[in-house]
């Protein structure tokens, strides 16, 4: 069984459509693939309709969260699986965060323009193509303007990594765990030790989140060193959390391939057993 529980489509900052993503999942030899776009379930229906017969589809999302226990607050990502996509409180919160993302992208463009950089909001919005807008769409505008060679360079400190990194109004992480659970979903902390993306939270927060309903930790991820993967595994074992591994595939916005990291069948089965929002689709 090859199980990849974290992938993005054009519903957020991936470059394959939801239909293209499930086709690529089958092509890559996966048995199970989760679609986890940032702060949206817009890809669920088209991915479900296009699902190849041999591929099981886990419907999920990656929620933009923040821990307010430090100043400044620390951003983090929560994967949410198999939740009810009509649960009113969660639906409202996802819409609010998407609105904040749009606001942030507009302000980022304004700041770039104020510094003489030739990018426009219309262009960035066009790259997002109706999906959740994110910094990778601003990165495309910087690439088009000839200012950076690729997405990685666009995320360096002098661009979107620091100088033009504006905050968005993310969901409090404890509220997010509660909303996902109330919607019958299963929350898993995405790449909890991804130090290259910024400050990571202390293990003491993960202990608190486990008590608050967190179900798992993503250990095997390209942003974790082998030592960090081991550390996350140890923490999960201590806290009785499941461990996942996934590619966090974004199409051509990143180098990583579907199935580059995978999840053990037992962990996947535990997630499915804990969920009551929507079922896994097929086979």
Tokens found for residue 162: 């620091």
- Position 216 contacts ligand AMP (CB under 6 A): no
Q: Which residue lies nearer to ligand AMP by CB, 13 or 31?
A: 13
Q: b/e string for 198-211 if b means 16 or more Cβ within 10 A? A: eebbebebbebbbe
Q: Which of 42, 128, 250, 259 binds ligand AMP (CB under 6 A)?
A: 250
Residue count, binding to ligand AMP (CB under 6 A): 11
Q: Which of 81, 121, 155, 164 binds ligand AMP (CB under 6 A)?
A: 155
Q: Which of 39, 62, 170, 218 binds Zn ion (CB under 5 A)?
A: 62
Q: Which residue lies nearer to Zn ion by CB, 181 or 254?
A: 254
Min CB(69)–Fe ion separation in Å: 20
Q: Which of 4, 13, 220, 228 binds Fe ion (CB under 5 A)?
A: 13
Question: In the 8-state DSSP scheme, what is residue 230?
Answer: H
- Position 220 contacts Zn ion (CB under 5 A): no
Min CB(259)–Fe ion separation in Å: 18
Min CB(265)–Zn ion separation in Å: 22
Q: Which of 27, 49, 152, 230 binds ligand AMP (CB under 6 A)?
A: 152
- Position 133 contacts Fe ion (CB under 5 A): no
Strands (E) across the chain are located at 3-4, 32-38, 56-67, 74-81, 171-172, 186-189, 216-220, 242-245
Min CB(62)–Fe ion separation in Å: 5
For residues 134-193, which are near Fe ion according to CB under 5 A?
190
Among the listed residues 5, 256, 10, the one whose alpha carbon sits nearest the alpha carbon of residue 133:
10
By the 10 Å C-beta count (0-12 exposed, 13-18 middle, 19+ buried), 114 is classed as exposed
Q: 267-273: which pairs have CB atoms within 8 A and are 24 or more residues apart? A: 267/216, 267/242, 267/243, 268/1, 268/3, 268/5, 268/32, 270/215, 270/242, 271/5, 271/58, 271/81, 271/82, 271/186, 271/188, 271/215, 271/216, 271/242, 271/244, 272/82
Which backbone phi and psi does 65 adopt, to 5 degrees? -125, 170
Q: Which residue lies nearer to Fe ion by CB, 190 or 278?
A: 190
- The residues pairing with 63 across neighbouring beta strands, listed in sequence order, are 78
- Position 197 contacts ligand AMP (CB under 6 A): yes
- Position 192 contacts ligand AMP (CB under 6 A): no
What are the residues binding ligand AMP (CB under 6 A)? 13, 38, 64, 134-136, 151-152, 155, 197, 250
What are the residues binding Zn ion (CB under 5 A)? 62, 248
What are the residues binding Fe ion (CB under 5 A)? 13, 77, 190
């Amino acid at each position: 069984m090859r199980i990849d529980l974290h992938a993005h489509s054009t519903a957020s900052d991936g470059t394959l459509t939801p239909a293209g993503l499930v086709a690529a999942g089958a092509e890559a030899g996966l048995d199970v693939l989760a679609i986890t776009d940032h702060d949206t379930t817009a890809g669920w229906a088209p991915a479900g309709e296009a699902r190849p017969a041999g591929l099981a589809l886990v419907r999920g999302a990656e929620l933009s969260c923040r821990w307010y226990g430090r100043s400044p607050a620390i951003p983090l990502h929560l994967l949410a699986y198999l939740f009810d996509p009509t649960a009113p409180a969660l639906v409202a919160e996802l819409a609010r965060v998407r609105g904040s993302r749009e606001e942030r992208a507009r302000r980022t463009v304004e700041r770039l323009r104020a510094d003489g950089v030739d990018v426009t909001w219309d262009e960035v919005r066009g790259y997002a193509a109706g999906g959740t807008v994110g910094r990778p769409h601003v990165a495309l505008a910087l690439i088009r303007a000839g200012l950076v060679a690729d997405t990685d360079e666009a995320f360096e400190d002098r661009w979107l990594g620091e100088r033009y990194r504006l905050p968005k109004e993310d969901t409090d992480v404890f509220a997010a765990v509660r909303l996902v659970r109330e919607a019958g979903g299963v929350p898993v902390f995405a790449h909890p030790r991804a130090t290259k993306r910024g400050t990571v939270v202390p293990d003491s927060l993960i202990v608190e989140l486990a008590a608050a309903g967190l179900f798992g930790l993503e250990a095997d991820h390209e942003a974790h060193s082998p030592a960090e993967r081991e550390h996350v595994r140890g923490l999960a074992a201590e806290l009785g959390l499941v461990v996942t591994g996934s590619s966090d595939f974004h199409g051509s916005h990143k180098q990583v391939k579907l199935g580059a990291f995978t999840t053990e069948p037992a962990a996947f089965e535990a997630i499915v057993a804990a969920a009551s929002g929507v079922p896994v689709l097929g086979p």
